[in-house]
Amino acid sequence: MVAFVLQNKALLSRCSLIATGTTGKHIAESGFEVRRLLSGPMGGDAQIAALVATGELDMVIFFRDPLGKHPHEPDVQMLMRVCDVHNVPLATNPTAAALLLQGLRATC
């Protein structure tokens, strides 16, 4: 995630970034202003979903390892479902995220 954020620094530095705990810490250490929520397993995924449900997010970029097991997988699935319900774009891999950012560039 940090590598992706750095590759898109020009655009993302103008955006309000929100991240779960550890990811947010690494992004902040890379020089970005980021609002950090709880870590994913401690409720951060649910916090992001709540922001989606209340219309506070324009898109979600949430990279996940499709081959790995995550103890908070039900939370990740819930986040994906909430994005679908509220018609909020969701990217779960770098290629999809790059396409979403192309759309964001077009609207800025």
Give every CB contact of residue 44 below 8 A, 6+ residues apart in sequence. Answer: 20, 21, 37, 38
Helix runs in the chain, H state only: 2-7, 9-12, 21-29, 44-53, 73-85, 94-107
State the catalytic residue, choosing from 45, 58, 65, 75: 45
75 in catalytic set: no
Q: Which residues are catalytic?
A: 45
